Structure 1
Amino acid sequence: MFGTDGVRGVANRGLTPELAMALGRALGGRLERGARVMIGRDTRRSGPMLEGALAAGLVSAGADAVLLGVLPTPAVAELTAAGGAAAGAVISASHNPFADNGIKLFGPDGFKLADAEEAAVEAALEEDGERPVGGDLGTVAHDPDGRDRYIATIHERCPVDLSGLHLVVDCAHGATVVTAPEVLEARGARVTAIGVAPDGVNINEGCGSTHLDLVAATVREVGADMGLAFDGDGDRVLAVDRTGATVDGDQILAICALDLRRRGLLAGDAVVTTTMTNLGFRRAMAGAGIEVRWTDVGDRYVLAEMKRGGFVLGGEQSGHLIDLSHGPSGDGLAAALHLLSALVATGEDLGPAAAIVQRLPQKLVNIVVERKSDLPQADGTWAAVRECEAALGEDGRVVVRASGTESLVRVMVEAPTVEECESWCTRIADVVRSELGGAIP
């Protein structure tokens, strides 16, 4: 049930109120009576429905639900840890289309639940458990001040002066509408805000970190210094420079790593990233004397390696950056402030700073499939992968993986030329489609 980022599905079909209530009961049943669980959500129309169901399940098990309303995922993680709550939950499908929704769970330290803990919650779904009555039932309370506490923490940890900078900020009609423009303006920036009119169905629609054309066009139109684009739940950020050129998570991570290295704050002189990270990033870090640790795709795996090795910085090409000095989870706003702080310190524009990473041509194809669980046994696919690896040698890479949150298989190829990327991606994708039953969307 739990993928790489919690439980996801089409709201009211795959992810029903009944399932949300059952998850609340399963989680609450594993906590002490009266334990508090912080709940936040993004702006999807289905959010209040699932919020009510999850809270009902918690109360039914004797836990107390504290409703934070619309808040970014990292804010809920931060408030869970800072407020002494027993757990946290976010109702969001992040960058997915608005019809989807999800539930991700956090422990009392603000970190996402480990695989074993998620498995225990899932196992508890099959049990009815104790049903307290009377005064032993849990309670539901609203916390209207959570947003302000999170914003105060952000200001304390990221006190950069942005005076003189003109920023375009795309909130994707998502959870960062209640935080990002206000925080950046308070730090002195002139902000042109877009994607700040959520109506329950427009989250991520043609905007945000998955659709950078809008922020790029707006930057050029208003003559801004750069643009920042968040995803629906605010744990990711991507950027564009003053010309509208994309600056991806690899480049942002590199700028932040070099900044921490200059300040003597990059623990272990290492950074953690995933197999999807461009080879150009590894080469840039090697040139700076920074070790790169690789993990499977998913911020939980990045975080696990960071904690295991005592590292402070990690992230993904998607813009999901984790800086443990800024909080227990990926935080798009904190990452944006770190990026801006690094640029202010060096006096560089974003474009030249991002050029530290010379990206190899990279092609990513998402294939909608019927049987993604059959990928490990797809012999023809892996034969095509081995053929590609032999042809590219050390000058390229191929990664084939099933999505942890959608019915997709992702094929990524890096090669010396765009033509080679296109050719190998097409060949491998055709085999995936024939073996697993699917089509390229």
Structure 2
Amino acid sequence: MERKYFGTDGIRGRVGEGAITPDFMLRLGYAAGKVLGRISKAKHHRRPRILIGKDTRVSGYMFEAALQAGLINAGVDVALLGPMPTPAIAYLTRTFHAGAGIVISASHNPYHDNGIKFFSAEGSKLPDEVELEIEAALELPMETSDDLGRAYRVDDAAARYIEFCKASTPWGFSLEGLKIVLDCANGATYHVAPMVFREQGAEVSVIGAGPDGLNINLDCGSTKPQQLQRAVVKRGADLGIAFDGDGDRVLFVDANGELVDGDQLLYIIAMHQHKFLGGCSGVVGTLMSNYGFELALRESKIPFERAKVGDRHVLEKMSVNQWKLGGESSGHIICADASTTGDGIIAALQVLRGLCEFDEPLHQLKSRMTMFPQHMINVQLAHRDGVLDHTDVKAIVVDAERQLADSGRVLLRPSGTEPLIRVMVEGRDSALVEQLAKDISSVVERIGNN
């Protein structure tokens, strides 16, 4: 059955368009309540309960009310968490033994977008068959339950999650003496992240912690870290930490104001496990993970595999390999020994634990790994059919790989939503990388526009 609403990471779009409307959210709440409520009731033999959390977008109030009404109409109790990071909803769903968790967020997108993401009772993404069942239930008429659900607010949700994050580090772990600037992206971490790092002993200053419903991710956070880079240098901080709007991504800034991306953070966590925690079983990256990251892990004999872009694919490969660490260059990092999903705060704590136990500043520790220059070109095409299999395209890719030898790679990746192919080349020589990307792009453009 083909999906109509669910994408690879829930349902997302611009508010007021397509599925991102109050009436659709009412029907979605009802459909999810019927499907997830039935599954939960069969397991727990009691009235089903579903948690709802959200980020700080102004439209969250509207969609929270609509989902709540639909769920109650389906006979499901609703626990309202208020603004909370996405990984917090995953955790609280587990600890409350709820039937499911719902997150109202569009992650790193601007305020005018919003979306819905579901977590299963285990705090993981819903299986495909359950999402398809919810889509099918959306076509059914709404009937008011004879046993309506009830709603209540969870007043200690933030405190519960703060303690959970702190518990991901060993007893006695302290950040005392460390000066940190946090950028909360005016999003869901604004009221929890500062408390976590202060209670761990760090001297914390904060930017991007004044959400007004419209400023989430606006010139701040992990997608726009320039403000944090300036603040770290100006305030003489040891480092900066930037989250995205829903708190499932994290990037760092070192004392010199230089950005430290997800690959570099994963490397620090992996090397810390390798040296201090009895070894790192392996790391899952993506097709876009830096080649320098792969080589650095190889030098330490740490297994590495690439998954398709997207945390769902990373998690799947981690599960197959039974590895506990994976993530993306964007800063979506999954520490499966601590959380079931990407968690910016927990990932940041693992990086800081590495810095403390290596007893090295961030700029020095990250320099152990050499990042290769990457050059990407988005090639707009009239059509994509057969382009990647064309002999001319294959020939120029082979020639580029010959020139890069064992010190680089070429990746051609069709967009999932647009008529374009992304050409990415990386290697040690930045001038060569840029030229090869241009050469390949010109051939792709010629074939795709004929």
Matches of residues 288-303 of structure 1 in structure 2 within 5 Å? 288-303=300-315
Cα distance, 1:122–1:407 mapped onto 2, change above 3 Å = farther
SS in 2 for 1:137: coil
Q: Distance in 1 between matches of 2:63 and 2:381?
A: 27
Which of 400, 403, 417 aligns to 1:392? It is 400
Q: Return the TM-score normalized by structure 1.
A: 0.90
Matches of residues 295-314 of structure 1 in structure 2 within 5 Å? 295-314=307-326
Conserved? CA contact 2:262–2:331, under 8 Å: yes
Query: CA shift at 1:382, angstroms?
Result: 6.7
Query: CA shift at 1:214, angstroms?
Result: 1.0
Q: Distance in 1 between matches of 2:166 and 2:316?
A: 27
Which of 134, 139, 143 aligns to 2:154? It is 143
The C-alpha deviation readout for 1:270-304, integer Å capped at 9, x for no partner, is 11111110111110000011000211111111111
SS in 1 for 2:365: helix
Matched, 1:113 2:126: yes
Aligned partner letter, 2:317: E
Matched, 1:327 2:332: no
Matches of residues 213-362 of structure 1 in structure 2 within 5 Å? 213-266=226-279, 269-362=281-374
Give the corresponding residue for 1:98: 111
Question: More displaced, 323-332 or 115-124?
Answer: 115-124
SS in 2 for 1:9: strand
Question: More displaced, 39-48 or 12-21?
Answer: 12-21
Q: Return the TM-score normalized by structure 2.
A: 0.88
Cα distance, 1:27–1:259 mapped onto 2, change above 3 Å = same
Give the corresponding residue for 1:210: 223
Aligned partner letter, 2:33: G
Which of 159, 178, 182 aligns to 2:191? It is 178
Question: More displaced, 293-302 or 52-61?
Answer: 52-61
Query: CA shift at 1:401, angstroms?
Result: 3.9
Give the corresponding residue for 2:387: 379
The C-alpha deviation readout for 1:70-94, integer Å capped at 9, x for no partner, is 0000100000011100101111111
Query: CA shift at 1:433, angstroms?
Result: 7.9
SS in 1 for 2:180: strand
Conserved? CA contact 1:155–1:183, under 8 Å: yes
Conserved? CA contact 1:385–1:398, under 8 Å: no
SS in 2 for 1:239: strand
SS in 2 for 1:209: coil
Query: CA shift at 1:329, angstroms?
Result: 0.8
The C-alpha deviation readout for 1:399-422, integer Å capped at 9, x for no partner, is 344566899865433234333444
Which of 169, 181, 205 aligns to 1:158? It is 169
The C-alpha deviation readout for 1:340-366, integer Å capped at 9, x for no partner, is 011001111101111222111112456
Give the corresponding residue for 1:76: 89
Give the corresponding residue for 2:44: none
SS in 1 for 2:353: helix
Query: CA shift at 1:26, angstroms?
Result: 1.8
SS in 2 for 1:207: coil
Mark the structure with the bigger radius of gyration.
2
Q: Distance in 1 between matches of 2:208 and 2:261?
A: 19
Q: Distance in 2 between matches of 1:196 and 1:407?
A: 38
Give the corresponding residue for 1:16: 21
Aligned partner letter, 2:80: L
Conserved? CA contact 1:235–1:332, under 8 Å: yes
SS in 2 for 1:379: coil
Conserved? CA contact 1:392–1:415, under 8 Å: no
Question: Identity of paired residues, percent?
Answer: 43
Q: Distance in 2 between matches of 1:189 and 1:380?
A: 51
Conserved? CA contact 1:266–1:313, under 8 Å: no
SS in 2 for 1:314: strand
Query: CA shift at 1:27, angstroms?
Result: 1.3
Aligned partner letter, 1:4: T
Q: Distance in 1 between matches of 2:95 and 2:392?
A: 49
Q: Distance in 1 between matches of 2:17 and 2:444?
A: 27
Q: Distance in 2 between matches of 1:203 and 1:424?
A: 38
Question: More displaced, 56-65 or 330-339?
Answer: 56-65
Aligned partner letter, 2:287: T
> Aligned-pair RMSD on alpha carbons?
2.6
Query: CA shift at 1:150, angstroms?
Result: 0.9
SS in 1 for 2:189: helix
Aligned partner letter, 1:220: V
Cα distance, 1:428–1:200 mapped onto 2, change above 3 Å = farther
